[in-house]
Every structure is written in structure tokens, then in C-alpha cells.
Chains A and B, each alone.
Chain A
Amino acid sequence: ETGVTQTPRHLVMGMTNKKSLKCEQHLGHNAMYWYKQSAKKPLELMFVYNFKEQTENNSVPSRFSPECPNSSHLFLHLHTLQPEDSALYLCASSQEPTGRQTEAFFGQGTRLTVV
């Protein structure tokens, strides 16, 4: 148990659906992240939020829309996805943006399948 909770754990959605992934942490961390892991690829950073402000968007298509209403919650809103967006989406948090002093704490991920 890392203290980072993601829901749902599994999601199947059609290409015309709109859905949201939720991430919650009560570790008192100030930075939160969305990562994507596609089959046979490394974990890839999507977004970084620091003190609720987005500080990094790693050229992510606009069909993925993040939201960080407070330091404890992070959402990823999904709309008009493509089958190639099927992947494991991992949320993480850290005390400050990951670097020399702080490691990331990960959730268990949401396995997304787009049909």
C-alpha cells in the first residue's frame, strides 16, 4: 500500500465515450503525475502538477485532459480515444517534483481498453 489510490482499476470504453480516471493521495505530497505504459514500452510521463498547477505536458493529445482540483486529487478526463490509447495509466505523487531528494509513490494503475 503506497498511499496512492487509483479508480477504477479496469476500464473498457468505446471510442465515442467520455470517462474519467481518478487518483487520490493523502500523503501530504505537493506534486502529482500521470504516466502511461503501453505494451512493451517504458513508462512515459504525461502530465506534472505541482501545487495544483500544471508544470509539464509531455505533448499529450488533447483527447486527454487532466484536472487537479487540490493537492490530494488528480483526474484524467478521456474523450474520443483511439484503440492505440489502450494502456496502463499510472498516477504518482511526491513531496516535491521528483529529483534529488524525493522518490515517486505510485498507484496501482488503471488498465484502459478502448474498443
Chain B
Amino acid sequence: ILNVEQSPQSLHVQEGDSTNFTCSFPSSNFYALHWYRWETAKSPEALFVMTLNGDEKKKGRISATLNTKEGYSYLYIKGSQPEDSATYLCAFIIQGAQKLVFGQGTRLTINP
């Protein structure tokens, strides 16, 4: 059974502060890692698709890093804004499979 662990499960951050959270996944047979943002009453929306060890990706104030050898990815949000409030999901794909295995997500709340 593949397990994808995300921590923390929930997080409250003051507006303007920076924050980060973690996705841990099996380090063997790595194929790809996806990050999604899921706002309440909306659809999950892709942030990043990461494939190479050492990958760093950035979209505005959000960035992500990937370490496939030790099996973790970090998502960073710089200068949090209220619109960043959402659940952030990571999903892992093993070689030979075509399915995303999701973690439970980190629920982020930005306090004004």
C-alpha cells in the first residue's frame, strides 16, 4: 500500500507571514509528484507537476521543492494572503502506474 503523508493537517497563519508544509512519499520507483490547491466549494486546481530530484518550481508567491531520494516535497507560500486559504493536496505517482495517490491534504487558513 502506498502512503502519502502530509503535515501538518491544518495550519493557521497570519496574513503577511510565510509558511511551508510537507509531503512525504515512498522514495522507491518514483515517477512524478503533483501539488493541487482546493478552495472550498471549488475544484482542485493543479499547482505543480514535479518529476526530477532537486526540482524547484514557482508560481507567483508559491514555490515547491522535490527530493526524490529521501521522499519529500515542500510547498512554500511567501507573504500569505487571505485568498491562499485552501486545502493543499499532494499526489504521488509510482513508475508503471497511471494513478495519483493523494495525501490527506494540509488545510491552510490565513487570518487577516
Contact = CB atoms under 8 A, between A and B. Distances in A.
Asked if A and B bind, the verdict is yes
B89 interface: yes
Given A48-B98, A56-B99, A104 B89 contact: no
Interface centre among B34, B98, B104 (most CB of A within 10 A): B98
B103 A45 contact: no
Contact of A42 (B41, B43, B93, B105): B105
Grouping DSSP codes into helix (H, G, I), strand (E, B) and loop, the B interface class, with mixed when no group exceeds half, is strand
A50 B99 CA distance: 12
Interface of A: 2, 4, 31, 40-45, 48, 50, 55-56, 58, 90, 97-109
B41 A108 contact: yes
Contacts of A90: 43-44
Interface centre among A44, A98, A101 (most CB of B within 10 A): A98
Given A2-B45, A90-B44, A106-B45, A98 B98 contact: yes
B105 A103 contact: no
Given A42-B4, A58-B99, A101 B44 contact: no
Given A42-B105, A56-B98, A108-B42, 9 more contacts: A31-B98, A40-B104, A50-B98, A55-B98, A98-B34, A98-B93, A98-B99, A100-B51, A101-B49
Contact of A106 (B41, B43, B51, B104): B43
A52 to B, nearest CB: 15
B31 A99 contact: yes
